[in-house]
Chain A
Amino acid sequence: MTETAMNGEALSALVDGELNEVEYGNILDAINREPELKQRWVRYHIAADALKKGLPPALLKPDFAARVMQAVEAEPTILAPRNITQKISPAAKQLAGLAIAASVTAVAVLSVQTWRLQAGAEPAAIAQVAPPVVNVVRPITAVAVDNAPLPAHVQSQINQYLLSHNQNALAAQRMLPYARIVGFASGDAAE
C-alpha cells in the first residue's frame, strides 16, 4: 500500500473517531505535511457529517470548511485526545508500526472498562480500600473484571448523572459543560 492510500484509510478512521492518540498524532502530522491530504480530510469530514444528516443547511456555508482547515493549520495540537480507543484499524496499525502498537497495548490496559455490576451481592465482595486519611494519590489499579458492556439501564443512569452534572455544576470555563452535553453522543461514557 502506498503511503497516501494508508493515510487515506487512516483519514477515514480519523473522521469516524476510531484512531487512538498515537495514530492521531501520526495522521495529523501527515495532514500537515501533505496539503492534498488536508483537503481530503475536510471533504471527508463534511461528507461524514452530511451522511449522518448533521449539518443544518444554514451552516453549510462555503467558508465552513475553510475555517475548520484554518483551525487545523493554526493548531494541530488541538487534536490530541487522551483516550485510547481499543479499535485499531489494520491500516492504522501498519501506519503506527510495531513500537507504537506495543505502547498502545500498554495504554489500552489502563483504559479498560472497570465498571462492575452486582446484583444483590454484598458490597463487601468488592475490594474497597479504606479511604486514605492524607491526600496521597493512590493509583487506581484496573482490576481484571468482567469487561462486558454495561446493561442499558445502568448506562442510561450514568448518562443522566453526566447530564445533570454538566447542567448544574459550573466549571471555570462556562461553555465547556454545555459543549460536553452537545457533543455527548450516546454511549460515549463507559464505552
Chain B
Amino acid sequence: MAVLHHCLSPLSFARVCALLIVSSSACAADSDPAALSLLKAMHDAGRQLNYQGTFVYVNNGKMESMQIYHRADAKGDHDRMVHLNGSTREVIRDGDKVTCILSDKKSVHVSRLDDGAQRILSALPSNFSEFTQYYTFMLAGQDRVAGRVTKVVHVDPRDKFRYGYRFWLDAENGLLLKSQVLAEDGVPIEQLMFTSIEVVREISPELLKPELKGEHYTLTEDKSEEDVGSAVALNWRVANPPLGFLSTGHKTRHVLTGGVPTHHIILSDGLASVSVYIEKLDAGKKRFVGSSYMGAVNIHGVVVDEHQVTVVGEVPAATVKMVADSIQFVKQ
C-alpha cells in the first residue's frame, strides 16, 4: 500500500479521480443541464401563461389545424382546443378533468387525467440523472417559429425503445411553439407547430366554453378507481418492460368497453408513457392479436390467461410489443 501511495503523485491521483468521476457520470456528461432547465421552463410556461393561438398538427400524412385557448387562474389551468378542419371536435381541460366532444360521433367523453407522468416532469431538473440515463438533452441553437425567436432543444434516445424529440421554445417566455416526435430513423412522425400565438393578460372564461352544445350526444364518463395494492393490481405484472419504464398508476376503468371493468396500468420513462389495458375475455368474444398504430402511437394486442391485453403508447412498436409480451398473470 505504502508503495502504491508513493507512486501516485498528486497530479496522477487527481487524474484518477477525474477519470472515476467521468466514468460514473458518463451518462450525464453528454447532456446539457441548460437544455433540461429550458424544458422545465417550457412545462411551467405552458401551465402558467394565458395564451391563444393556431397550430397545425401533422400525423398520418394529414395536416389538421387547431385553435387553442389557455387560461391560468387561482383554480389552476384550463384549456380548450378546437379542430378547425373537418367535423368539429373539441377538447376542454379543466384542471385534471378532460372533456372530449366529438361531433362526428355525437359523443361527449369525460375523463380524469392521470398525473403520474406530469409529476415526473414537474420535478425537472432535480431528477436530471434519471432522465439522462435514457435520453441526451442538448441545446441546438436558435430558429424562428410563428414570427418568434425560439431556442431549440434536441432530446435523443439512448436506445431503440424511445422516440427522439425536437422542441422549439419561445426565447422570451419559454412556450413551446413547435415540436417533433422522431422515429428511430430520425424521420418526424408527429409534428405540432404554432402558426400564430399571442400571450395575453387574460383569457376570458367564455372562450373556454364549448362551441358544440352537445345536445342529443351520448355522454360517457370515465369513472376510474385507484387500484394500487388491490387484488387485480397485484395479479397483473409487467415483468420485463424496457429499462426506465416505471409504473405510474393502476386504475380500473368502467366505461371503456361496454361496462366491462378494464384494468389500466400506466408506465412512463418520464417523457413517454405506455398504457396497458387488461380485460377478461368472455366466451366467444373476439380477441385481437397483432399491432397497429396511429401517428407516433403504437398499439399491440396479446391474449394472456383468457384476458385481452392491449398496450398503447407513444413509443416505438418494439416497446409496446416488449411490454405486451412480458405481461404476466400471477396468482396470489
Contact = CB atoms under 8 A, between A and B. Distances in A.
Interface stretch (B2-10, B11-19, B22-30, B111-119): B111-119
Interface in A59-105: 59, 64, 67-68, 70-71, 74-75, 77-83, 85
A52 interface: yes
B58 interface: yes
Nearest to A85: B61
B323 to A, nearest CB: 9
A16 to B, nearest CB: 9
Interface in B37-74: 39, 43, 46-47, 54-68
Interface in A174-191: 174-176, 178-186, 188-191
A20 interface: yes
Given A49-B84, A161-B310, A81 B189 contact: yes
B57 A118 contact: no
Given A79-B58, A115-B301, A129-B325, A167 B286 contact: no
Given A164-B222, A189-B299, A170 B114 contact: yes
Contact of A169 (B114, B161, B222, B310): B114
Contacts of A81: 58-62, 189
B259 interface: no
A79 B63 contact: yes
Contact of A167 (B86, B165, B222, B289): B222
Nearest to A173: B179
A130 interface: yes
A173 B176 contact: yes
Contacts of A185: 62, 86-87, 104
A67 B60 contact: no
Given A78-B56, A132-B322, A170-B273, A137 B297 contact: no
Contact of A131 (B239, B264, B310): B239
Contacts of B116: 169-170
A138 B318 contact: yes
Contacts of A168: 111-114, 251, 264, 266, 275
A167 B98 CA distance: 7
Contacts of B325: 128-132
A119 interface: yes
A155 to B, nearest CB: 10
B165 A183 contact: no
A158 B117 contact: no
B211 interface: yes
A67 B23 CA distance: 49
Given A119-B284, A184-B294, A165 B275 contact: yes
Interface string B117-137: 110010000000000000000
A163 interface: yes
Given A49-B84, A67-B195, A183-B66, A126 B100 contact: no
Contact of A182 (B91, B178, B222, B257): B91
Which among B109, B118, B155, B290 has the greatest number of chain A C-beta atoms within 10 A?
A: B290
Contacts of B118: 170, 174
Contacts of B246: none
A138 B161 CA distance: 11
A92 B167 CA distance: 33
B218 interface: no
B232 interface: no
Interface in B84-108: 84-91, 93, 98, 100, 104-105
Nearest to B160: A137
Nearest to A71: B195
A158 B310 CA distance: 8
A125 to B, nearest CB: 9
Contacts of A78: 56, 58, 178, 188, 191, 193
Nearest to A167: B111
A130 B178 CA distance: 40
B231 interface: no
Contacts of B155: 172
Contact of A135 (B83, B243, B268): B243
18 contacts: A17-B62, A48-B85, A52-B86, A59-B67, A71-B146, A117-B287, A119-B287, A123-B287, A162-B297, A165-B312, A168-B275, A169-B313, A170-B121, A171-B314, A178-B79, A178-B81, A183-B59, A188-B60
- The 6 A-B pairs at the shortest CB distance, nearest first, are namely A131-B325, A183-B64, A169-B273, A190-B292, A17-B62, A82-B189
Given A54-B84, A170-B118, 16 more contacts: A71-B193, A78-B58, A114-B291, A115-B292, A123-B287, A128-B302, A140-B321, A160-B256, A167-B222, A169-B116, A170-B113, A170-B115, A175-B176, A179-B66, A185-B62, A190-B299
